[in-house]
Amino acid sequence: ELVFRLVDEWFINMDWRQEIMDVARRIRWLPESINGLQRELEWLTMMRDWMISKKRFWGLALPIWVDEETGEFEVIGSLAELKERAVEGWEEFEGHTPHRPWIDKVKIRNPRTGNLMSRIPDVGNPWLDAGIVPFSTLQYNTNREMWRQLYPADFVTECFPGQFRNWFYALLAMATMMDNSPPFKTLLGHRLVMNEEGKPMHKSDGTAIWFEEAAEQLGVDTMRWMYLAQNPAVDLRFGTRHPDQPVALETPTGTITETEEGLPTCRVTSKPSDEVRRQVLIPLWNSYAFLVNYARLDRFDPRAPRIPVSQRQEIDRWILSNLQALIETARREFENYNVAEFCRAAS
């Protein structure tokens, strides 16, 4: 039974959303077809204040201390400040990470009333942790010079649409508040991996395809090309797992009949992977085999002096011209984070 109940929560006032929107406009949003910037701006326009608290035991301990008598609260900015303000419980907390139950032992005093103030029992929304990473992990507080060398990130990528209101938003909000700057230069949003019918794959109903199953039955090179060649704006209909058809798989470490999660390994089929093998990998292998066979017959020595291009056969010059065109395409599309276009050119 699902029970709805009203509870008090903690929020960040978002009256400064326009500042976040200004920062978002300084970022390159890819792919252009999904109009990621507009999605983010719409979320920032429509969203209400940011609820940051969770009614859980484990998580980011919100550094908010409350005077239960007056309702006044204070936000503590660092462990050093907390140690300076602590009047009870610091000895029990010291040496532990700032999590419950240890952090809850620490009491501070209300400077106006003299009352003891206790930390609220709530923990923080996980996106607070995720959003502050560009500062918390790059020594923003302890080595600002190094932080400046590493910030902002050149590139981030995650799935959409959910992350426009979660991780992307949290990164933007934190960076705007801390430095009024973009936390990253380029963002690539991508869709999801689905089954061949376009439906989500779940462990609970046996439709989730595990890596061991796909790697051994479809091939890792096949999967690499599937991911690279996929338009990131469109769901990848990866394949189908047949939970009623268990199979034993030969791996580099021996035969397995279970995944690392303890589930029986089952047959996996994938029409996209079949097409990759047919259109890309098999022709590539055949071309390589053709070269090797005739190079041996002709006693080809790659160390021999090269024949000037002008003296080569027309077919050789055509091949070299196509190669240079492909190299140019690769550089252009890689710089534009458009690997799928390179794959089309290389196929």
With respect to residue 339, please indicate whether it lies within any of the assigned structural domains: yes
* Domain boundary pick from 139, 166, 190: 190
> Are both 93 and 46 inside the same structural domain?
no
With respect to residue 4, please indicate whether it lies within any of the assigned structural domains: no
Q: Which two tokens stand for residue 336?
A: 């534009």
Per the structure, how many domains does the chain have?
A: 4
Q: State the pTM of this model.
A: 0.86
> Are both 103 and 203 inside the same structural domain?
no
pLDDT in tens, 309-346: 999 999 999 999 999 999 999 999 999 999 999 999 99
With respect to residue 113, please indicate whether it lies within any of the assigned structural domains: yes
With respect to residue 1, please indicate whether it lies within any of the assigned structural domains: no
> Are both 42 and 176 inside the same structural domain?
yes
> Are both 131 and 46 inside the same structural domain?
yes
With respect to residue 29, please indicate whether it lies within any of the assigned structural domains: yes
Per-residue CA distances from 50 to 5, 73, 277 (Å): 19, 18, 48
> Are both 179 and 31 inside the same structural domain?
yes
pLDDT in tens, 167-203: 999 999 999 999 999 999 999 999 999 999 999 999 8
Place of tokens 């992350």: 163
SS (H, E, C) 82-127: HHHHEEECHHHHCCCCCCCCCHHHCEEECCCCCCEEEECCCEECHH
> Are both 150 and 176 inside the same structural domain?
yes
pLDDT in tens, 90-137: 999 999 999 999 999 999 999 999 999 999 999 999 999 999 999 999
Residue 147's domain comprises: 11-52+126-190
pLDDT in tens, 195-248: 999 999 998 888 999 999 999 999 999 999 999 999 999 999 999 999 999 999
With respect to residue 282, please indicate whether it lies within any of the assigned structural domains: no
Residues 6+ apart with CB under 8 A from 290: none
SS (H, E, C) 122-175: CEECHHHHHHCHHHHCCCCCCCHHHHHHHCCEEEEEEECCHHHHCHHHHHHHHH
Q: Which two tokens stand for residue 153?
A: 């990130």
> Are both 140 and 27 inside the same structural domain?
yes
CA 225 to chain centre: 19
Q: Is pLDDT above 90 for 10?
A: yes
With respect to residue 155, please indicate whether it lies within any of the assigned structural domains: yes
With respect to residue 182, please indicate whether it lies within any of the assigned structural domains: yes
> Are both 209 and 262 inside the same structural domain?
yes
